Amino acid sequence: MPRGALFDPLFGAAELGPALSDRAWIIALVEVECALARAQAAVGVLDPAHADAIGIAGPHLARSLDPVQLGAAAVSGGNPVIPLVTKLRAVCADAGVPAAAVHKGATSQDILDNALLLLAQRAGALIITDLRTAADAAARLAADHRGTPMAARTLGQQALPTTFGALAAGWCAALDRAAGALTAVLADLPVQFGGAAGTLAALYPHGTAVADALAAELGLAPQRVPWHTDRTPIAELATALGVGAGAVGKIATDIVALAATEIGEVAEASPGGSSAMPHKRNPIAAITARAAARRVPGLVADALGAMDHELQRAAGAWHAEWETVTDLLRLAGGAAHRLAQSLSGLQVHPAAMARNLGITQGLLLAERVTAALAEHTDRAREIVTAAATGEHPALDTDPAVTEYLAPDRVRELLDPAGYLGHAQDFVTRVLDARGDRA
């Protein structure tokens, strides 16, 4: 059974799982070896016939290698590239390729680092798609509900009126920003090729040309210098994934809160049930998006904590990255996928929003009444505070308030739709910035 078969679908990584599996790792490792051979042939340091033979034998080997056996064989050397190269040399020997032509001038870290970048690019493309799908869904919600009043809540309490469109526009902006940041990081990932100690001495004077050709073969950015122990590219990738997961987690948290029975302002199109309580309608897509996102910060910390690679090759810090980054991609991507599912079918209940706006009997607009009252007395805040915290709070009938403001004027001030500030303007700004004219 492949890793993650039980939980990947639940946490949104059903598609990402195969892209980050042990088999995907092996395929990527072999792809790098084949790309290296082609790059060297292009530069003129390897016989093109040998490069062709490696390119033919490699994919067959990648499909047939047993991850369990390769993992066991990796124990003595500390990484799977060492036994993989032995296997690759053996199958290429049948085509007349000398052993020295396979993995020429490379070290294990060159192959592993570039394989990880290939996995990051492939999984990252799926993650960006889901982030943008979620952002598009949020944009539609913002457009549809730009003027739908709801209670803004701060520190768990109703604060002032806003619109659901403004809330959704904020979601959209965060997701767009996260998708853009991840796109930029993936596009900037540089090839990693330094040879045994970062000097490419075995390929001198052609080492830099081979490195550039390898970057082109793999679709990676060229390197300025080998970065065996400069892990800023990995840290930037991890951080971008962490930011994306954080954006997802915030939105998922909002959805879960707003879907609570007592609030009831949103609901998922396909809610989950309970094994014990038939009445439950759980926002399970948002819940599992939040669950996946919550596991990401610790992994980001692991990646950042492993940046202290010593000198030209790290003992342990490098090894700590492989599964950490793989899991980061899986979880951040799963969170984005589940949020996209949640937002794409999210049902909005304006009637519930209106009901909740009325719960405080106008106290939600105490700020507005205070401002109007302040034009008549310096005791405005004191008067409104006393009226709002009394046994029967009602600003439009409190004599200390109506001494200065007529009851009809107070009731006008207590209309949530009249105190939305720039909520609708912010929706327009977000939609215009992304080209939406909803």
- Compute the CA torsion angle 429, 431, 437, 438 (nearest 10 deg): -110
Backbone φ, ψ for residue 47 (5° rounding): -60, 125
Hey, CA dihedral for 132, 174, 430, 253, is it positive or negative?
positive
The 3-class SS string of 376-409 reads CCCCHHHHHHHHHCCCCCCCCCCHHHHCCCCHHH
Would you give the distance in Å from CA 166 to the centre of its chain? 22
* Residue 29 contacts residue 115 (beta carbons within 8 Å): yes
Alpha helices (H) in 295-422, listed in sequence order:
296-305, 321-344, 350-357, 366-373, 380-388, 399-402, 407-413
Catalytic annotation on 313? yes
* Residue 320 contacts residue 307 (beta carbons within 8 Å): no
Catalytic annotation on 342? no
Tokens at 124, concatenated: 């990252």
Q: How many CB atoms lie within 10 A of CB 146?
A: 23
Catalytic residue among 313, 381, 409, 434: 313
How many Å is the maximal CA-CA distance in the chain? Answer: 101
Catalytic residue among 64, 274, 355, 429: 274
232 CB-contact burial (10 Å; exposed 0-12 / middle 13-18 / buried 19+): exposed
Catalytic machinery residues: 274, 313
